[in-house]
Amino acid sequence: MPYEKSTNAGETTFHVNPEKAPSLLKSLIIPISIPYLIMWALDFLLGLATTAILGAWIYFSQNSKNVTQYRTPSRFSVTPEGIKLNGVFYAKDNIHRLIIRNHVDEQYVFVSNYQSYHAPASTARGLQLRQKLIDVSYRVDLESNGKAIPLAGGLNEPTAYAVLTDVNRVLKLNER
């Protein structure tokens, strides 16, 4: 299960583990394998240079901010009085709302009608990979004092809603 909760003396502790981000290498291995092998067959140095460039591009893409942001395990405690996260207590009266966000989907991406109907394979593959990343980039935020504080990130949508619902139940936010 992506998250676990345990209750001890009126305090519910959540342990949330993020989903794995999609692998760029796995997505590209089939479409680039034949051109890649041809480059190696034509010239050793061309193949070596292509390997270095492709490897660096994949490494930096997999470690970009979009892929790694909010994708760390989190642990926080909830009581009917508030939420304790990283040693900081947020009182129920100071919590404006709990909300689900997706940091990848918040970015505006323009795709014209031409591209959507006549997209080259590379564009289609990139949009597919982006959608896979969107699917596992939900986070649950606590808003307090004009700031959004991430409680848990790197989640799929059902898990994010489950965490949000469980935290709301403990806090009894709907009863205010």
Per-residue pLDDT, 35: 77
Cβ–Cβ < 8 Å for 85, 76? yes
Alpha helices for 13-156 (secondary structure H): 24-42, 44-62, 65-68, 113-117, 121-135
Specify the DSSP element, H or E, that contains 157: helix 157-171
Q: Is the pLDDT of residue 13 over 90?
A: yes
Give the residue extent of every domain in the chain: 3-21+71-175
Task: Output the CATH code of domain 3-21+71-175.
Answer: 2.30.29
Per-residue confidence band for 150, with pLDDT thresholds at 50, 70 and 90: very high
β-sheet bridge partners, residue 130: none
Per-residue pLDDT, 97: 87
Closest CA to 107 of 74, 86, 134: 134
Q: Which residue has the tokens 């935020």?
A: 141
Measured distance CA(140)–CA(160) in Å, rounded: 6
Per-residue confidence band for 136, with pLDDT thresholds at 50, 70 and 90: confident
Q: Is the pLDDT of residue 119 over 60?
A: no
